[in-house]
Amino acid sequence: MGQTSQNLVGLRVKKARAAAKPSLTQQQLSDRLAEIGVQIDRAGIAKIETGIRGVLDFEVVALAKAVNVKVGWLLGVKE
């Protein structure tokens, strides 16, 4: 398995942050997550995006909500 398939969520979180209008910093994403009750600090976001840290199921849902994308998109599900 290549790194892309092992870290699809992290890569897509980074892509969604960059595509947001205006783009979101890792700290801004962390702040949005905190507003919905999920605590992942800026360093945690960086680790997720680089594949150092995995994500739990509820974190995937929260990340999708925070960057305004569908959970399926973060997971690479084709609709």
Task: Give the pLDDT confidence of 40-67 residue by residue, as tens digits.
Answer: 999 999 999 999 999 999 999 999 999 9
In a domain, 22, yes or no: yes
In a domain, 77, yes or no: no
pLDDT of residue 3: 42
In a domain, 75, yes or no: no
pLDDT of residue 64: 98
pLDDT of residue 5: 55
pLDDT of residue 30: 99
Residue 56 is part of a domain; what is its CATH number?
A: 1.10.260
CA dihedral 50, 75, 2, 16 (to 10 degrees): -40
Give the domain range for residue 19. 3-68
pLDDT of residue 60: 98
In a domain, 74, yes or no: no
In a domain, 73, yes or no: no
CA atoms within 13 A on the CB side of 50: 8
In a domain, 23, yes or no: yes
Number of domains in the chain: 1
